Every structure is written in structure tokens, then in C-alpha cells.
């Protein structure tokens, strides 16, 4: 039988935290008739400095679909469908890359920027409610803990 294990418990806590965070995020996105994945794409296009992807990869040019798929760790096909919806809603637009016309660079439209700004207020309010009882040092330790876990997980993948 499976025994109580602190390491496994930590993982399940992180999974539950993530699932709950996503579900609560959907209450925000539903008001604006987009999904959390679409919101994440828009945050990537807005170059949200809180997204870990930008710690490892800097972007001078607007992103392309493959970069968004890599950042979200999803398939290119999944991203293409999400992008098409955002384009239809006129929240993002695409333009040809100046160096390679086959590549399409993605940008937020004025409506997309306005939506991100509206949603950012709600995100900040929600985050404040959740984290107001924690000291800055506690939040920093949590980030450091997760950073170390991610590094170890990535090293483990490279070993296999």
C-alpha cells in the first residue's frame, strides 16, 4: 500500500494550488469572454515580466506562434486554434516578419491592450486578497523553492 510521504504531499499541494488558481482565474476571464489560456497568450504578448519564460528567453521582436507554444508548453496546433479565436475577437493581430515573410509576428491590438489593462486590475486585487497575509520574505522563499524544484526537474529530464 502507498505510505504517507512528504515529497509526494508537496507535489499534490502544488497541483491542487495550480488547479484552484486556474479555476479562480476562469472566474475573471469568463467576464471578458476569453479563456485562461487566451489570457496567458495575451500576457505573453504584453511581455508580462512576471512570466518565467521571459527570465530565460528575451524577446526584442513580437512573438511567433511557436514561441508561444514553447512558453505555454503546449502543441503548436493548440496555440494556433487559440490565436485564431483571439484574432477573430480582434484582441490580437499578426504581421509578416520583416526578415522572413513566412513567419507571422503576433501583437496585441488596442482592444487587446485595453482588455489586459482591465484584467490586470482584477488580477492585482485577487492576488492582494490571497497574499496579503504573507510577508515579502515568505513570498520570496516560495519563489526560490519553486525555482529550485524546477531546476531539479529540468536536470532530471536531461538525464533520461
Q: What distance in Å separates the CA atoms of residue 59 and residue 97, rounded to the nearest whole number? A: 14
pLDDT of residue 26: 92
Residue ranges making up the domain that contains 124? 15-159
List the Cα angle 57/127/107 in 5-degree steps.
40
pLDDT of residue 160: 53
Q: Is residue 96 part of a domain?
A: yes
Q: Which CATH number belongs to the domain containing residue 90 in this structure? A: 1.10.10.10
Q: Is residue 153 part of a domain?
A: yes
pLDDT of residue 39: 96
pLDDT of residue 157: 65
pLDDT < 50 positions in the chain: none
- Burial (CB count within 10 angstroms: exposed 0-12, middle 13-18, buried 19+), residue 34: buried
pLDDT of residue 60: 84
Q: Is residue 138 part of a domain?
A: yes
Please compute Rg for the chain using Cα positions: 18
The pTM of the full predicted model, rounded to 2 decimals, is 0.88
Q: Is residue 92 part of a domain?
A: yes
pLDDT of residue 137: 97
Domain count, the chain: 1
Q: Is residue 80 part of a domain?
A: yes
Q: What is the largest CA-CA distance in the chain?
A: 60
Amino acid at each position: 500500500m502507498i505510505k504517507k510521504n512528504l515529497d509526494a504531499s508537496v507535489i499534490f499541494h502544488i497541483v491542487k494550488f495550480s488547479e484552484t488558481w486556474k479555476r479562480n482565474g476562469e472566474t475573471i476571464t469568463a467576464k471578458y469572454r476569453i479563456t485562461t489560456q487566451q489570457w496567458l497568450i495575451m500576457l505573453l504578448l504584453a511581455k508580462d515580466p512576471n512570466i518565467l519564460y521571459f527570465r530565460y528567453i528575451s524577446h526584442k521582436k513580437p512573438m511567433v506562434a511557436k514561441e508561444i507554444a514553447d512558453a505555454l508548453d503546449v502543441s503548436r496546433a493548440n496555440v494556433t486554434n487559440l490565436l485564431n479565436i483571439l484574432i477573430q475577437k480582434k484582441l490580437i493581430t499578426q504581421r509578416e516578419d520583416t526578415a522572413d515573410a513566412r513567419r507571422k509576428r503576433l501583437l496585441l491590438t488596442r482592444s487587446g491592450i485595453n482588455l489586459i489593462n482591465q484584467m490586470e486590475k482584477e488580477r492585482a486585487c485577487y492576488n492582494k486578497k490571497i497574499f496579503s497575509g504573507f510577508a515579502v520574505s515568505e513570498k520570496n522563499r516560495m519563489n526560490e523553492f519553486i525555482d529550485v524544484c524546477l531546476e531539479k526537474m529540468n536536470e532530471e529530464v536531461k538525464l533520461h
